[in-house]
Every structure is written in structure tokens, then in C-alpha cells.
A and B are shown apart, each in its own frame.
Chain A
Amino acid sequence: GQNIDQPTEMTATEGAIVQINCTYQTSGFNGLFWYQQHAGEAPTFLSYNVLDGLEEKGRFSSFLSRSKGYSYLLLKELQMKDSASYLCAVRWASWGKLQFGAGTQVVVTP
């Protein structure tokens, strides 16, 4: 597989906005997924991007720039329940399956 990089941890205050970046090597890219995972639980699908631009789903938005090998997940109006790990996953054309980043632990404080 190829490298998928995302920050290890981010802390933000309830009601604020947090942006989680994900970078990857562009060669062979065929789609990017974001998942949320609470400790000890299953990953839950949040968003899918394959074309450049912004996809908005309620408080969560995801952006993709294929030429830069860059995506971000934007979490708005943070709530305590948003404290979780956020996983960036890339589908490579040669694989046809997902490769997950190590995840970004978001901690929401009162």
C-alpha cells in the first residue's frame, strides 16, 4: 500500500469547528472515504469523495483535491458525542479495496 497521513490527535471545544486533514499519494487514486469510530466500536461511514470539491452532510463536510492528494473532514458545531477517531480511507485502482489511515483522535472538551 501507499502512505496515508493524518494527524494523530486534535482537541477542540464544544460548539467549535475542527478540520481533519488527510494526505495520500495521488498515483492510482480511486476514491476516498471518511469513517467515524468510537473506542471499541465499529467504524461508521461518514462520506465519500471521488471528484474534486466539497460534499456536505449536515454538520459534517468533506473536501477533496485529487491533484494535491489532499482531503479534509470538517466537523462543525462540535458536540461531546463527536469525540471519536476519524479514519481516512483510500481506494486504490490497482487494489479495488480500501487502505485506512491510522486515524485522528478528536477530543471535544466542554
Chain B
Amino acid sequence: DSGVTQTPKHLITATGQRVTLRCSPRSGDLSVYWYQQSLDQGLQFLIQYYNGEERAKGNILERFSAQQFPDLHSELNLSSLELGDSALYFCASSVAFSGESDTQYFGPGTRLTVL
């Protein structure tokens, strides 16, 4: 158990819908990262927050957005869902963003299925 929690574990929804994925980082970690993992794409970085501020963006679609709240939990919002958005979504957290303290610890993931 990494100490990172994610809810829900599974989510099944229809195309065009909107969902929210939630992540709570390990106690003491200020950085939160979101990743998407699909069968043909590997683990793709989406976005990073540090202490409530967006710090880095990866290949995140405009239909996707995220935020980190004052209590450091984070939410990833996916809207206008398409079949291709079906994937495992992981949240990870780290103490900071440099050196070994940047080691990311992953939550169990949310499996999203879009029908």
C-alpha cells in the first residue's frame, strides 16, 4: 500500500458524459501527478500540481481538467467522453519535485470504461 488513495476504483459511463476522479496523496506529499495508461499507449503523463498550483502539463486534452485543493487532494475531470478515453487513470504523489524526494508513489488507479 503506497498511501495514495483513489476513488472510484471502477467507473463505467457513456460517451458524451462527464466524470470526476479523486486522489488523496500520501501524508506530507505536496506534489500530485495524473497519468493515463491505455493498452496501446503505455503510461502517459497528464498534469502535475504542487501545493495547489499547476506545475507541469503533459499530453492532456482540452476536455480534461484538474485541480488540487487546499487539503492537497486532487480531482481530474474528464468531459465529453469518447470511447478512446477508456483507460486506467493513475494518481501519484511525491514530497517535492527534485532529487530522490521526487520519487513518485502511485495510487491503485481508476479503471474508466466508456461505452
Contact surface of A with B, Cβ cutoff 8 Å: 31, 33, 35, 40-45, 48, 50, 87, 91, 95-103
Contacts and interface: CB of A to CB of B under 8 A. Distances in A.
Contact of B43 (A43, A91, A95): A43
B109 interface: yes
B104 A96 contact: no
A103 B40 CA distance: 12
A33 B106 CA distance: 13
Contacts of A45: 103-105
Given A42-B109, A45-B104, A98 B90 contact: no
A31 B56 CA distance: 17
Interface stretch (B14-22, B62-70, B71-79, B93-101): B93-101
Contacts, number: 52
A87 B43 contact: yes
A99 to B, nearest CB: 7
B58 A97 contact: yes
16 contacts: A31-B99, A33-B103, A40-B88, A42-B2, A42-B108, A43-B43, A43-B106, A50-B99, A96-B55, A96-B56, A96-B98, A97-B33, A97-B45, A100-B42, A100-B45, A101-B42
Contacts of B55: 96
Contacts of B103: 33, 45, 48
B25 interface: no
Contacts of A50: 99-100
Contacts of B43: 43, 87, 100, 103
B106 A42 contact: yes
Closest 8 CB pairs of A and B: A42-B106, A100-B43, A102-B42, A97-B56, A43-B106, A48-B100, A42-B108, A96-B97
